[in-house]
Amino acid sequence: MAKSNPLYRERWGYGFDLTTDHLSTEEISKLRAQYDSLGSEVLGILQKIVANKDPAANGAPKADLYSVLRDNYQDNEVLSKFWDELHVTPEWVDWAQIERGQKFFGRYALGNATAFALQGFVRENSASPGIAEVFARTGGFAVRNLLSRVIETFTWVVHVTTSLESIQPGGEGHTSTIRVRLLHASVRQRITRLVESRPQYFDIKKHGSPVNDLDSMHAIALFCCMPMWDSLPKMGVYPTKQEITDFIALFRYISYLTGTPTSYWTTPKKAKAVMETMFLHELDPTNTSKILAYNFITWLSNAPPVYLSRDFLEAGCRWMNGHEMSDALGMGRPNLIYYLVFQGHNVVVFTLAYLQRFIPAFDRFMININRKLLYAAVTDHRHLVGGAGLFDFKFVPQLDRKFGKDSGEIDAQGHSRWWRPVEAVFLMALMIAGLVGCIMVAFVFKFALKLHIKE
């Protein structure tokens, strides 16, 4: 990869060489024009079943559509086809590989969580115009709604990575993913119907249908490619070839379950090219992006139990996404000290990752403990997401409602906003790393001096 190569491209501080695996503009347009039509057809049938059973409900989106599907698929040809597709394992699925891929999330839990928040939510969801416009209409980026949105998404990630049984047909992660697919079909249906009565409500010509194939691939790349080639390397961690191949295989299966094209995830090389294509063509921050990014950081600042400061979060965003993107998203410019604190965070992520790589027993311990903690955390918060991970449609789009910039911060529930224990730990980690570095340099220097005197 050399800048002098005519195929070299750089976007938002990330450089790469174009290959035949990168998507052409024609392919991008084609994918933007397509969506999960089977999922949409199934949604329509399920809504009719609900309406026939309870005419007062009139296909209300609050019904648990997964249960309706499970109880009725045998009586309808389209539902049977859908159900069979989801429950017959494709021949390319290797369960041992999927199980290895699932461990990746728990193994690098801290790094993955940072990547998910500071790159996934701030950059990919906010700065991709089509995705951002959908989120702005469904209210998930209004400060008051962010807690449930983030917990629900996190719950889903935990479900699909917690154990092999969970992602296999009938498991918790498997059913959660089917619910998410039906939820996306509801989002698409609702926005498309509003466009029928007021075309300017959502620009389908420009952005394609809501949750189209291109946007869904972008979301898959966010989950499985960015940690590999962008987020974790920025924290000093380089996943192994095996980890990359296995995690992408897991998300190929998730693409299959969510009705997203699967042919782009057959090899790490192809998957990486999808991510880079998104950088090149799909990240283009708008005013809506600024609002979403601002609301997300506002929500996360001072939130219990970690009480991270806005300055720390903005320094983290700048480190993870670069100054060009952060300026385009309207991020503040914090003092140098906050960049150092974020480097302390990176020291913790890096140290844990490499200790785990060299001590397999410690790796197993960390994966188990992180899985248990994360599972308990999302289970404890079920009441906040309105049920046991049913992923219902919470903020049904309305013609007169598009969420804007929020000023409110999350209630710190009586805890001090000035005591930042987590940031103090990160700073301490950086100081210890600095001290260890100085001792090692002094040791090497002393050794070299001794050799020199002997000679």
> Where does this chain bind ligand HEM (CB under 6 A)?
130-131, 134-135, 138, 140, 149, 152-153, 156, 180, 183-184, 187, 210-211, 215-216, 219-220, 258, 260, 391, 393-395
Cα 172 from Cα 193, distance rounded (Å): 31
Identity of the amino acid at 72: N
280: Cα separation from own chain's centroid: 19
Nearer to ligand HEM, 210 or 268 (CB): 210
Nearer to ligand HEM, 135 or 279 (CB): 135
Instruction: Answer whether 162's CB lies under 8 Å from 102's CB.
Output: yes
Six-digit token string for 436: 């260890």
Nearer to ligand HEM, 403 or 426 (CB): 403
Q: How far is the CB of 314 from ligand HEM (least distance, A)?
A: 24
Instruction: Answer whether 395's CB lies under 8 Å from 140's CB.
Output: yes
Q: How far is the CB of 184 from ligand HEM (least distance, A)?
A: 6
Identity of the amino acid at 447: F
Nearer to ligand HEM, 181 or 234 (CB): 181
Q: How far is the CB of 281 from ligand HEM (least distance, A)?
A: 15
Q: How far is the CB of 300 from ligand HEM (least distance, A)?
A: 16
The Cβ of residue 88 has, within 10 Å, a number of other Cβ atoms equal to 9
**Residue appearing with tokens 């991510």:** 275
Q: How far is the CB of 280 from ligand HEM (least distance, A)?
A: 18
Rg of the chain in Å (alpha carbons) = 23
132: Cα separation from own chain's centroid: 14
Nearer to ligand HEM, 130 or 239 (CB): 130
Task: Tell which residue, 86, 53, 245, has the closest CA to residue 169.
Answer: 86
Cα 53 from Cα 51, distance rounded (Å): 6
Give 385's contacts (C-beta < 8 A, 6+ positions apart): 148, 151, 152, 155
The number of residues making up the chain comes to 455
Nearer to ligand HEM, 391 or 426 (CB): 391
Task: Assess whether the previous peptide bond of 199 is cis (omega < 30° from 0).
Answer: no
Q: How far is the CB of 11 from ligand HEM (least distance, A)?
A: 20
Query: Helix %, strand %, coil % for the chain, to 5?
Result: 70, 0, 30
Cα 65 from Cα 185, distance rounded (Å): 11
Q: How far is the CB of 288 from ligand HEM (least distance, A)?
A: 12
Nearer to ligand HEM, 185 or 352 (CB): 185
The Cβ of residue 47 has, within 10 Å, a number of other Cβ atoms equal to 21
Nearer to ligand HEM, 183 or 303 (CB): 183
The Cβ of residue 340 has, within 10 Å, a number of other Cβ atoms equal to 15
Instruction: Answer whether 184's CB lies under 8 Å from 39's CB.
Output: yes
Nearer to ligand HEM, 244 or 278 (CB): 278
Task: Tell which residue, 274, 349, 319, has the closest CA to residue 108.
Answer: 349
Identity of the amino acid at 377: A
Q: How far is the CB of 36 from ligand HEM (least distance, A)?
A: 9
Nearer to ligand HEM, 189 or 370 (CB): 189
Q: How far is the CB of 207 from ligand HEM (least distance, A)?
A: 8
Q: How far is the CB of 214 from ligand HEM (least distance, A)?
A: 8
